[in-house]
């Protein structure tokens, strides 16, 4: 094997790989600066800036942005070890994007309310509901996948909208209920993502940030109120279960503050934003009909239908490979609580560290031919393709989304053959390098139902519950 050929760690666990072995004796040098304080760079977006800065200066770069904040881009093999060994010095959470805790407090509710007896009561109920909630998620995943399989055959089916609605149905119906139309729920969730994106790219634009924040909070409260009105005892939703134990004398403000904090936290953990994980998996599968057939064949041998709890290992590998190339969080901000040493240099207290899974996931130190989508890459490898997700909670989150995507992929391959439509131009298939990795243009897929063609695999395995 050539010296520069990249391989996965032998154990399959990225956290066991020692990326500092060649960097231990690096001399102390002055941190290079990448000046991105211009309209040109602002239009490119932060992720593209990070990619350009890394290619020009290496694994540690100080970014000069328009808000005059100290932002240090931390990339390369060393970044994983830096994260693992010094995590306690990165206290900021993902939501703390504007360096203004008032912003997230406004979205989630007053901290005093979150510490009240009501919050503790609902927290205990949430812990008791853990296993029920997992079962409810499985049920809504089945319904959402069945709907996708059926709607994919419709003329002029919009792939983006199909994936968006699948994501809402698979997660939000178990959390909130279905009082709001799925399309309205999807549009409201994008208000939250827009708030995150604006707060990330322009934290100094206080009025703009707070404008988007108010819209996001108004949507959350509207969704909670509408679903509270229609909730019934015995509904298989988290909201209905929490309402059941909530004292009647609790006022609406305290009620919303506590419910908002709990449901938004779980939503952030479980939701595949805009269904992008599934969208990118289908885009790559539509360019590899042999892989589609292999998944369908494996599903047949393992009896992996839409109502069967088994998951095709090949479909799961595709889901992991999709997460590798298109991570849910392409970059992560952390505020430095204490000086951090990195590659012989110091990232000072109070600065912002920018970690970029997007770049690490395409680093040749970790991956063989990193830019290639390889659906077999994660077969027989029990790992999470996200080096910054080594905590049990983070692994649980990644595996939840992986399983959802794998179930949908397996079911769609069993029910349909599909290829990219000729009008889906190559330029449309590139991701926009921003906080949500969406395609540059419209992507269409041509679906061919196996049931309609008399395919025995589909007749044997795909038996929709609605039929």
Q: Is 214 exposed, middle or buried (0-12, 13-18, 19+ CB in 10 A)?
A: middle
Greatest mean pLDDT among 10-19, 212-221, 387-396:
212-221
How far, in Å, CA of 252 to CA of 219, rounded? 16
Average pLDDT over residues 120-136: 91
More confident call, 419 vs 335: 419
Looking at residue 39, its pLDDT comes to 79
CATH 3.30.43.20 in the chain: give the residue spans: 1-100+328-384
Greatest mean pLDDT among 6-20, 150-164, 284-298, 429-443:
284-298
Query: Tens digit of pLDDT for each residue in 21-66?
Result: 333 444 456 899 999 888 788 778 788 889 999 999 999 999 988 7
Lowest mean pLDDT among 11-15, 54-58, 61-65, 137-141: 11-15
Looking at residue 166, its pLDDT comes to 97
Query: Tens digit of pLDDT for each residue in 340-380?
Result: 888 888 888 888 888 888 898 888 888 889 999 999 999 98
| Residue of 229, 245, 232, 235 whose CA lies nearest to 128 | 245
| Residue of 93, 125, 91 whose CA lies nearest to 107 | 93
Residue 343 Rama label (left phi>0; alpha psi -120 to 50; beta): left
pLDDT band, residue 466 (cuts 50/70/90): very low
11 CB-near residues (< 8 Å, 6+ apart): none
Looking at residue 103, its pLDDT comes to 46
More confident call, 229 vs 76: 229
Average pLDDT over residues 173-178: 97
The average confidence (pLDDT) of the chain is: 81
**What is the three-state SS of the chain?**
CCCCCCCCCCCCCHHHCCCCCCCCCCCCCCCCEEECCCHHHHHHCHHHHHHHHHHHHCCEEEEECCCCCEEEEECHHHHHHHHHHCHHHCCCCCCCCCCCHHHHHHHHCCHHHHCCHHHHHHHHHHHHCHHHHHHHHHHHHHHHHHHHHHHCCCCCCCHHHHHHHHHHHHHHHHHCCCCCCHHHHHHHHHHHHHHHHHHHHCCCCHHHHHHHHHHHHHHHHHHHHHHHHHCCCCCCCHHHHHHHHCCCCCCHHHHHHHHHHHHHHHHHHHCCHHHHHHHHHHHHHCCCHHHHHHHHHHHHHHCCCCCCCCCCHHHHHHHHHHHHHCCCCCCEEEECCCCEEECCEEECCCCEEEECHHHHCCCCCCCCCCCCCCCCCCCCCCCCCCCCCCCHHHHHHHHHHHHHHHHHHHHHHHHEEEEECCCCCHHHHCECCCCCCCECCCCCEEEEECCCCCCHHHHHHCCCCCC
Average pLDDT over residues 166-187: 97
Query: Tens digit of pLDDT for each residue in 417-449?
Result: 999 998 899 999 999 888 789 999 999 999 999
Quick one: fold of 1-100+328-384? 3.30.43
Report percent pLDDT > 70 for the chain: 78
Looking at residue 454, its pLDDT comes to 56
């Amino acid at each position: 094997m050539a010296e520069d050929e990249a391989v996965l760690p032998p154990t399959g666990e990225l956290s066991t790989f020692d990326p500092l072995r060649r960097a231990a004796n690096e001399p102390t040098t002055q941190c290079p600066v990448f000046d991105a304080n211009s309209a040109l760079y602002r239009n490119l977006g932060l992720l593209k800036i990070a990619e350009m800065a890394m290619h020009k200066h290496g694994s540690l770069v100080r970014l000069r942005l328009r808000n005059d904040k100290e932002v240090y881009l931390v990339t390369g093999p060393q970044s994983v070890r830096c994260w693992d060994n010094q995590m306690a010095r990165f206290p900021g959470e993902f939501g703390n994007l504007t360096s203004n805790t008032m912003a997230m407090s406004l979205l989630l509710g007053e901290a005093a309310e979150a510490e009240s007896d009501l919050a503790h009561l609902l927290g205990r109920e949430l812990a008791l509901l853990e296993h029920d909630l997992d079962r409810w998620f499985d049920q809504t995943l089945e319904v959402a996948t069945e709907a996708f399989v059926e709607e994919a055959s419709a003329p002029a089916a919009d792939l983006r909208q199909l994936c968006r609605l699948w994501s809402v149905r698979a997660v939000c119906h178990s959390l909130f209920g279905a009082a709001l139309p799925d399309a309205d729920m999807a549009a409201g969730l994008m208000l939250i993502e827009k708030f995150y994106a604006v707060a990330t790219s322009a934290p100094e634009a206080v009025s703009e940030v707070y404008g988007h924040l108010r819209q996001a909070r108004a949507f959350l409260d509207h969704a909670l109120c509408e679903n509270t009105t229609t909730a019934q005892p015995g509904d298989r939703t988290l909201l209905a279960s929490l309402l059941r134990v909530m004292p009647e004398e609790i006022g609406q403000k305290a009620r919303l503050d506590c419910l908002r904090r709990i449901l938004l936290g779980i939503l952030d953990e479980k939701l595949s934003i805009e269904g992008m994980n599934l969208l990118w998996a289908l885009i790559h599968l539509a360019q590899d009909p042999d892989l589609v057939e292999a998944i369908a064949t494996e599903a047949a041998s393992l009896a992996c239908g839409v109502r069967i709890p088994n998951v095709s290992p090949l479909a799961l590998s595709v889901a992991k490979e999709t997460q590798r190339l298109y991570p849910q969080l392409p970059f992560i901000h952390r505020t430095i609580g204490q000086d951090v040493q990195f590659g012989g240099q110091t990232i000072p207290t109070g600065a912002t560290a920018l970690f970029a899974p997007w770049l690490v996931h395409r680093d040749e130190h970790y991956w063989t031919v990193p830019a290639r989508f390889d659906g077999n890459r994660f077969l027989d490898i029990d790992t999470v393709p996200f080096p910054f997700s080594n905590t049990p909670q983070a692994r649980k989150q990644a595996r939840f989304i992986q399983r959802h995507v794998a179930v949908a992929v397996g079911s769609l391959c069993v029910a349909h053959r599909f290829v990219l439509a000729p009008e889906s131009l190559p330029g449309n298939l590139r991701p926009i390098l921003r906080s949500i990795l969406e395609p540059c243009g419209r992507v269409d897929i041509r679906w061919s139902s196996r049931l309609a063609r008399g395919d025995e695999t589909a007749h044997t395995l795909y038996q929709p519950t609605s039929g």
